[in-house]
């Protein structure tokens, strides 16, 4: 047996390094994934959202009502985008997710404060994502009792600071108890389907290529669209089987409510699955082997789970991260599934989130078709 040789080990090292450099995709993933993680976790992720969109319903235009609004904005958590007098319009804004908070100041608020009647201010919260509003609610309980410090002076000074001049009623809508599972479990439907649908489909074509059966498929008169449909539909069936397990656990074990249409939910899940399967099919036409397909899946799945609002509050992210998140189908699907399950959203209410998923599906399918035709050539 020959002795250990550093020269031979060095030769193997050189050979392995050259082979790694030839696999440009793997090398790019090895460098790109850490950079992406640093950017996302360092700049995009924020667990303390500020500037949350808020609508104020003002039935009293007095100075004290304005002081309350200023105090809310000074906390940094509330960004009062709209001030309305129509309660129904404000209700619609919070129902469709346009705003996170709704503040209602009752009629004769200033008069009741002066009389010591201690009126109540209502703070309605979109409770579908408890993590997005927890710190804001805590700030309200601290700041608002002192909001009228500049107004209650002179003869009114006896109303401060021994007693709070008004009360604050916090109404967590769609999730009164603030249960995190009402937010996490519906989100798991999207994240699990994203991971499995993209990964399984991306492996389908590369597996054919590695086993040598791709040549037989290319020799047949099957068109690219027929191949794509034939490859995707079995995984749609598999996805619905997964869905049955997830939803059964959601309803039976975690007691997640079902406020909307179950048929509409199944339809939207089908659109979402096909969109992700289109991504997987596109990856399979780019990857040369199953390892590369797995790497591409991870490169797509990581920003999807971080920038969609599943793990961290979506509105806490900077604008550039939100812009990326708007491109991802998981972002829109999470709003749809939470809207149907927790809010009872109708088709018209989820339509603004449906068309971006359909557009994504169209683009992903077109890319897959173009790449597959090049493979045929």
CA angle 47, 314, 266 (to 5 degrees): 130
The Cα-based distances of 219 to 14, 124, 374 in angstroms read 39, 62, 14
Give pLDDT, residue 151: 54
Instruction: State the average pLDDT over residues 275-298.
Output: 84
Cis amide bond preceding 21, omega within 30: no
Exposure class string for 54-70: b at 16+ Cβ within 10 A, else e: bbbbbebebebbbbbbe
- Beta strand pairing status for 120-126 and 101-105? antiparallel
**Is the predicted pLDDT of residue 161 greater than 60, yes or no?**
no
pLDDT in tens, 25-48: 666 767 777 777 777 777 777 778
**Running DSSP on this structure, what letter comes out for residue 96?**
T
pLDDT confidence of 373, banded at 50, 70, 90?
low
> How many other C-beta atoms are found inside a 10 Å radius of the C-beta of residue 318?
11
Q: What is the DSSP string of 293-357?
A: HHHHHHHHHHHHHHHSSSSS-GGGS-HHHHHHHHHSHHHHHHHHHHIIIII---HHHHHHHHHHH
**Is the predicted pLDDT of residue 14 greater than 70, yes or no?**
yes
Percent of the chain with pLDDT over 70: 89
Give pLDDT, residue 152: 54
Q: Which contiguous run of DSSP H or E holds residue 222?
A: none
User: Can you name the residues that pair with 374 across neighbouring β-strands?
Assistant: none
**Is the predicted pLDDT of residue 268 greater than 90, yes or no?**
yes
Measured distance CA(191)–CA(328) in Å, rounded: 12
Exposure class string for 6-37: b at 16+ Cβ within 10 A, else e: eeeeeeeeeeeeeeeeeeebbeebeeeeeeee
**Running DSSP on this structure, what letter comes out for residue 43?**
I
Give pLDDT, residue 377: 46
**Running DSSP on this structure, what letter comes out for residue 40?**
I
**Is the predicted pLDDT of residue 306 greater than 60, yes or no?**
yes
The Cα-based distances of 85 to 4, 35, 89, 90, 268 in angstroms read 85, 48, 9, 9, 35
**Is the predicted pLDDT of residue 155 greater than 60, yes or no?**
no
Instruction: State the average pLDDT over residues 54-70.
Output: 84
Give pLDDT, residue 262: 93
pTM, full prediction: 0.82
pLDDT in tens, 210-246: 777 766 766 777 776 777 777 778 888 888 988 888 8
User: Can you name the residues that pair with 57 across neighbouring β-strands?
Assistant: 84, 104
For each of the domains in the chain, give its residue range(s) and CATH number, in order of start.
52-173 (3.40.1710.10), 181-376 (no CATH)
**Running DSSP on this structure, what letter comes out for residue 99?**
-
The Cα-based distances of 268 to 39, 190, 198, 258, 358 in angstroms read 32, 11, 17, 15, 10
For 32-36, 67-71, 161-165, which range has the lowest pLDDT when averaged over its residues? 161-165
Burial of 351 per CB tally in 10 Å (0-12, 13-18, 19+): exposed
For 78-92, 137-151, 164-178, 333-347, which range has the lowest pLDDT when averaged over its residues? 137-151
Instruction: State the average pLDDT over residues 112-131.
Output: 85
Handedness of CA 326, 331, 337, 341 (dihedral sign): negative
- With a CB cutoff of 8 Å and minimum separation 6, the contacts of 98 are 53, 55
Confirm if 125 and 133 have CB atoms less than 8 A apart. Answer: yes
For 192-196, 285-289, 325-329, which range has the lowest pLDDT when averaged over its residues? 285-289
Structure token pair of residue 162: 């021994």
Instruction: State the average pLDDT over residues 359-363.
Output: 92
Instruction: State the average pLDDT over residues 135-149.
Output: 77
Measured distance CA(164)–CA(147) in Å, rounded: 10
> How many other C-beta atoms are found inside a 10 Å radius of the C-beta of residue 200?
19
Q: Which contiguous run of DSSP H or E holds residue 169?
A: strand 167-173
**Is the predicted pLDDT of residue 376 greater than 50, yes or no?**
no
For 28-37, 146-155, 290-299, which range has the lowest pLDDT when averaged over its residues? 146-155
Give pLDDT, residue 154: 56
Closest CA to 333 of 311, 313, 355: 355
Measured distance CA(60)–CA(38) in Å, rounded: 48
């Amino acid at each position: 047996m020959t002795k250990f040789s550093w020269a031979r080990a060095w030769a193997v090292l050189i050979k392995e390094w050259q082979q790694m450099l030839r696999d440009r995709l793997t090398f790019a993933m090895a460098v790109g994934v850490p950079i992406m993680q640093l950017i996302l976790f360092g700049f995009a992720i924020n667990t303390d959202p500020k500037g949350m969109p808020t609508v104020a319903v003002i039935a009293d235009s007095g100075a004290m009502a304005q002081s309350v609004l200023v105090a809310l904005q000074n906390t940094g958590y509330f960004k009062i985008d709209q001030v309305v007098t129509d309660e129904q319009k404000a209700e619609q804004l919070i129902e469709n997710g346009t705003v996170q908070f709704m503040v209602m100041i009752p009629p004769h608020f200033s008069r009741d404060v002066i009389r010591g009647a201690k009126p109540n201010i209502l703070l309605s919260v979109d409770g579908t994502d408890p993590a997005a509003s927890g710190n804001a609610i805590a700030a309200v309980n601290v700041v608002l009792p002192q909001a009228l410090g500049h107004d209650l002076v002179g003869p009114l000074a006896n109303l401060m600071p021994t007693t709070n001049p008004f009360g604050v009623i916090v109404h967590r809508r769609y999730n009164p108890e603030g249960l995190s599972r009402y937010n996490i479990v519906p989100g798991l439907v999207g994240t699990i389907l994203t991971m499995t649908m993209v990964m399984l489909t991306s492996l389908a074509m590369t597996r054919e290529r590695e086993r040598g059966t791709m040549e037989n498929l290319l020799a047949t008169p099957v068109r690219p669209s027929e191949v794509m449909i034939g490859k995707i539909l079995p995984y749609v069936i598999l996805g619905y089987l997964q869905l049955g397990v997830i939803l059964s656990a959601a309803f039976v074990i975690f007691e997640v409510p079902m406020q909307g249409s179950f048929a509409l939910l199944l339809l939207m899940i089908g659109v979402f699955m096909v969109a992700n399967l289109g991504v997987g099919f596109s990856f399979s036409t780019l990857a040369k082997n199953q390892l590369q397909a797995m790497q591409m899946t991870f490169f797509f799945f990581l920003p999807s789970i971080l920038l969609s609002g599943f793990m961290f509050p979506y509105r806490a992210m900077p604008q550039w991260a939100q812009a990326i998140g708007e491109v991802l189908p998981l972002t829109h699907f999470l709003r749809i599934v939470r809207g149907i399950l927790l809010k009872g959203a109708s088709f018209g209410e989820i339509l603004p989130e449906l068309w971006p998923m359909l557009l994504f599906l169209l683009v992903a399918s077109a890319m897959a078709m173009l790449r597959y035709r090049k493979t045929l050539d």
